[in-house]
Amino acid sequence: MFRQFFCTSCLLVCLFCCSAILHAEIDTVTITWNPGLCDEGCEKLVQRRLEGIPAVSQVVVSSGQAVMYWKPGEKFNYLMVRRPTQLVGIGIDAMYVKVRGTVKKVGDKVTLTSIGDGTKFELTSAPAPKLGTYTQYSAPELYKLREEQLDAFLKAEKEDAMVTASGFLLMPYRRALQIVLDNYRIEQETQ
């Protein structure tokens, strides 16, 4: 009786303590498409196709959107998501990601390297519109971090802190994966 209790307790403690290790580095990948082009039967087919991606642990599909929960340690690749949706006949309008990792400044860019799988994402912000001028959103070189974001990431790099970033992928079909930040959180080490 005591032995069974002890083993169960050890297992629970191990699961509780290792939850950070078991947590996926690339947490979620969300895609959106025109909901008018995909009825309920189409959405079921989208779900089935996306569940067939080896790196995906769970898929939730609803009205023009699919949220994929990524398995720990699995690398992200745009084509592994694009191909199944193409087979169904829908086009991806936008792709959002939530990633956890470490940041590093290389040249004038800040990269977030997903822990465990090593997928690299360049962190950027959308160009700020200026009153009375046209703002170009199709040129990736115009997407730069704001000064306060850059300072926060440089501090995180210096402290070797974990960063969780989320946002949409800018032109994900290109070789470089760029996250246009919606939100980010820098985890402070507790002692």
pLDDT in tens, 28-59: 999 999 998 888 899 999 999 999 999 999 99
Instruction: Say which CATH class 23-187 falls into.
Output: alpha beta
pTM of this structure: 0.80
Given a contact cutoff of 8 angstroms between Cβ atoms, the answer to whether 90 and 37 are in contact is: yes
What's the rounded Cα separation, in Å, for the pair 62 and 60? 7
End-to-end CA distance of the chain: 37
Count H helices, E strands: the chain?
5, 8
Predicted local distance difference test score (pLDDT) of residue 10: 37
Predicted local distance difference test score (pLDDT) of residue 8: 33
Predicted local distance difference test score (pLDDT) of residue 103: 95
Given a contact cutoff of 8 angstroms between Cβ atoms, the answer to whether 147 and 131 are in contact is: no
Given a contact cutoff of 8 angstroms between Cβ atoms, the answer to whether 185 and 112 are in contact is: no
3-state secondary structure of 170: strand
Helix H or strand E segment including 5 = helix 2-17
What's the rounded Cα separation, in Å, for the pair 171 and 148? 25
Predicted local distance difference test score (pLDDT) of residue 58: 96
* Lookup: tokens for 73: 């340690």
Q: What is the β-pairing status of strands 56-62 and 120-124?
A: unpaired
What's the rounded Cα separation, in Å, for the pair 140 and 81? 22
- What are the C-alpha distances in Å from 76 to residues 15, 80, 84, 114, 158? 26, 8, 15, 10, 26
Report domain extents, the chain: 23-187
What's the rounded Cα separation, in Å, for the pair 62 and 87? 18
Per-residue b or e along 156-184, where b marks 16 or more CB atoms closer than 10 Å to that residue's CB:
bbeeebbbbbbbbbbebeeeebbbbbeeb
Which positions of the chain have pLDDT values less than 50? 1-24, 190-191
Predicted local distance difference test score (pLDDT) of residue 138: 78
Predicted local distance difference test score (pLDDT) of residue 82: 93
